[in-house]
Amino acid sequence: MLRTLAIATVVAASAAASSPVKCTDIGGCIAVFEPVCGSDNRTYGNACELTVAQCSNPSLQLASDGACGDKCQLKACADIYAPVCGSDGQTYGNKCELQRAQCNNKPITVVSQGPCGNATTTQPANTTTTIVVPNTTQTPKTTPVTSMASPRAFVAIGVGLVALGLA
């Protein structure tokens, strides 16, 4: 495992430096899901996997970070309400929500931080849970807990479990 990590690190460092990588030096890639799009319009699980593919297709290049295809469908926004006013007069729950609206070919920019004057508000999906915390008084206090787990973390865990044969 440590050897694989070291090889993957060397491969990634070599790819980043744009120096040629000997395909015989590549032993395997770590199971971390950080997708990249190749010039063949194929999504690779991470930069190391793209480098391995370059051994059989030397003209293959990195086209962009992230998966190939519609970037708008892949964009997930955090459940944090930090409103911004868009140039379309609409209040978005946060800057990410405005950027997702931009993906639909709308030329929207942030006009100001905070809600617009009398505009409609688009709030992020609510995944807040309230936990009752007992104390010495008769009135219970509540503490909101928001799930901030990254979808990428769940995918990386799943990919790791599959690689280990545990899933």
DSSP helix/strand/coil, 99: helix
**Domain of residue 89, residue span:** 72-149
Query: What is the reported pTM?
Result: 0.35
Residue 49 lies in a domain: yes
Q: What digits encode the pLDDT tens for the residues 105-115?
A: 678 889 999 99
Task: Evaluate if residue 5 carries a pLDDT over 80.
Answer: no
60 and 95 fall within a common domain: no
Residue 158 placed within a domain: no
Task: Say if 166 falls within a structural domain.
Answer: no
Shared domain for 78 and 145, answered yes or no, is yes
Q: Is residue 94 part of a domain?
A: yes
Q: Is residue 162 part of a domain?
A: no
**Other Cβ atoms closer than 10 A to 30:** 19
Q: Which residues contact residue 101 at a Cβ distance below 8 angstroms, ignoring those fewer than 6 apart?
A: 86, 88, 90, 92, 108, 122
| Residue 167 located in a structural domain | no
- CATH code where residue 90 lies: 3.30.60.30
Q: 19 lies in a domain?
A: yes
pLDDT digits (tens, 9 = 90+) for 59-112: 999 888 888 875 565 567 888 999 999 999 999 999 888 888 877 667 888 999
* 27 and 89, same domain (yes or no): no
Distance of CA 5 to the CA centre of its chain: 22
Q: Let me know whether 61 and 84 are in one domain.
A: no
How many domains is the chain partitioned into structurally? 2
Is 49 found in the same domain as 110? no
Q: Is the residue at 43 inside a domain?
A: yes
Tell whether 142 and 80 lie within a shared domain.
yes
* Structural Rg of the chain based on CA atoms: 22
